[in-house]
């Protein structure tokens, strides 16, 4: 197919080589969606096979590893929630760790103290988080940017302190989650349980983000004035993002309590907030793949650092590695922002561009 860059070139300097992008169901579009489907199927297969592989690699005592991989699934949910709110709906809210903590306590309280079934506990945790999201989101809409970030960070530390206060007045060291269904006590079934939820929510999020609601969020992010001019109700959609994000974080929080079989006030802390933020910035703002990559990166890092001897002795220094993890998150944020300003999810595109550019460079020489 020959392209004729004649008179119209000024109107479309980069239209060349995209002749297939015309209709709704084009060849290019079909190939792209086929690739997405293939990727999804490969990913799901890998998730199903992973426990068996880890058995092969690490032998029978691999439950420790699998247990940590499950944690990544929980972080994927949390990163997804933060990304919907911050990467798509453009609300720089740092309050999600509060919902993460509260939902863990709601589940543990209902399940351990009141003896309610686990499923009721999960449901209640998600509903309470969504309601809190609504309560927090309503005033948060009137502030923006740095003010919103600082105000919601205040919420996280306040909630963390309240949960800690509850622990203290109840006179408990650990708030353990008992009364779990049997299959959740097994690392392998817990792994499958968590990743089934992750896959479902990734699927739902994908469709949500490609629906009217998702388009409205992106439009608000890209250009708030134009979005308003075309009749998008800013308040409604921002609030929706707050509630959905909070509910999702609540699910992640109650799964975390299930995973750790305990609820801890440190789940609602500035450190946790930074971890969520690091995930989406490292992974890529406004990208589903980015949420996954970021969660893997940030989720795996403590695991790897945990393998280091602590305290580490270098000469006469004793290095307490565990106290450095947050610092390393911060450093990573810095490095990724410098080298991959749009996150790890841009790696694929960047590699593609690089490969495409190479031969054309050779041609001009």
Partner 1 sequence: MLKVEQLHVGYGSLEVLHGISFDVPEGAIVAILGSNGAGKTTLMRALSGLIPIKSGKIDFAGKAVGRLVAEKRLREGLALVPEGRDLFGSLTVRENLLMGAYTRRSRTEIEQDIERILERFPRLKTRLQAHAASLSGGEGQMLAIGRALMSHPRLLLLDEPSHGLAPIIVETVFEVIEQLNREEGLTIVLVEQNAHQALEVAHTAYILQSGSIVLNGEATTLTANSAVQELYMGG
What does the binding site for partner 1 look like in residue numbers (CB under 8 A)? 8, 10-15, 18-19, 21-24, 26, 28-29, 212, 215-216, 218-219, 221-223, 225-233, 286
Q: How far is the CB of 94 from partner 1 (least distance, A)?
A: 23
- What would the two tokens of residue 353 be? 């561009």
d(CA 342, CA 329): 17
The region, left, alpha or beta by phi > 0 then psi within -120 to 50, assigned to residue 2 is: beta
Nearer to partner 1, 62 or 345 (CB): 345
Q: How far is the CB of 220 from partner 1 (least distance, A)?
A: 9
Nearer to partner 1, 11 or 146 (CB): 11
Burial tier of 174 (Cβ tally within 10 Å: 0-12, 13-18, 19+)? exposed
Map residue 318 onto helix, strand or coil.
strand
Asked whether the bond before 129 is cis by omega within 30 degrees of 0, the reply is: no
Q: How far is the CB of 163 from partner 1 (least distance, A)?
A: 38
Nearer to partner 1, 188 or 221 (CB): 221
Q: How far is the CB of 32 from partner 1 (least distance, A)?
A: 9
Q: How far is the CB of 285 from partner 1 (least distance, A)?
A: 11
Query: Would you list the DSSP string of 189-238?
Result: HHHHHHHHHHHHHHHHHHHHHTSHHHHHHHHHHH-HHHHHHTT--HHHHH
Q: How far is the CB of 215 from partner 1 (least distance, A)?
A: 6
- What would the two tokens of residue 97 be? 């760790």
Point out which residues pair with 313 in neighbouring strands.
318
Within 10 Å of residue 356's Cβ, how many Cβ atoms?
Answer: 10
């Amino acid at each position: 197919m020959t392209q004729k860059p004649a008179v119209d070139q000024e109107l479309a300097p980069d239209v060349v080589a995209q002749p297939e992008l015309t209709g709704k169901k084009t060849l290019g579009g079909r190939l792209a969606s086929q690739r997405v489907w293939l990727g999804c199927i490969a990913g799901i297969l890998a998730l199903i096979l992973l426990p068996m592989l880890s058995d092969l690699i690490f032998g029978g005592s691999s439950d420790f590893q699998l247990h940590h991989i499950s944690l990544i699934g929980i972080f994927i949910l949390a990163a997804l929630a933060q990304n919907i709110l911050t990467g798509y709906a453009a609300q720089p809210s740092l309050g999600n760790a509060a919902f993460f903590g509260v939902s863990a306590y709601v589940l543990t309280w209902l399940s351990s103290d009141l003896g309610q079934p686990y499923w009721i506990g999960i449901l209640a945790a998600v509903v309470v988080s969504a309601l809190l999201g609504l309560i927090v989101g309503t005033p948060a809409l009137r502030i923006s940017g740095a003010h919103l970030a600082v105000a919601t960070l205040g919420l996280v530390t306040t909630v963390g302190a309240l949960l800690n206060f509850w622990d203290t007045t109840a006179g408990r060291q650990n708030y353990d989650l008992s009364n779990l269904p049997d299959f959740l006590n097994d690392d392998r079934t817990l792994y499958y349980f968590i990743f089934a939820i992750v896959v479902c929510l990734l699927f739902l999020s994908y469709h949500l983000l490609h629906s009217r609601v998702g388009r409205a969020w992106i439009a608000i992010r890209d250009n708030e004035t134009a979005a308003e001019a075309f009749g998008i109700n800013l308040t409604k959609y921002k609030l929706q993002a707050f509630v959905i994000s909070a509910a999702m974080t609540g699910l992640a929080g109650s799964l975390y309590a299930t995973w750790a079989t305990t609820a801890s006030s440190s789940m609602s802390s500035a450190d946790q907030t930074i971890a969520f933020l690091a995930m989406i910035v490292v992974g890529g703002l406004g990208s589903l793949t980015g949420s996954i990559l970021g969660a893997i990166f940030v989720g795996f890092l403590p695991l790897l650092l945990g393998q280091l001897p602590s305290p580490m002795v270098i000469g006469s220094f004793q290095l307490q590695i565990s106290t450095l993890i947050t610092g390393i998150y911060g450093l990573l944020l810095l490095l990724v922002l410098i080298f991959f300003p749009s996150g790890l999810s841009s790696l694929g595109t960047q590699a593609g561009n690089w490969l495409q550019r190479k031969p054309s460079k050779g041609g001009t020489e």
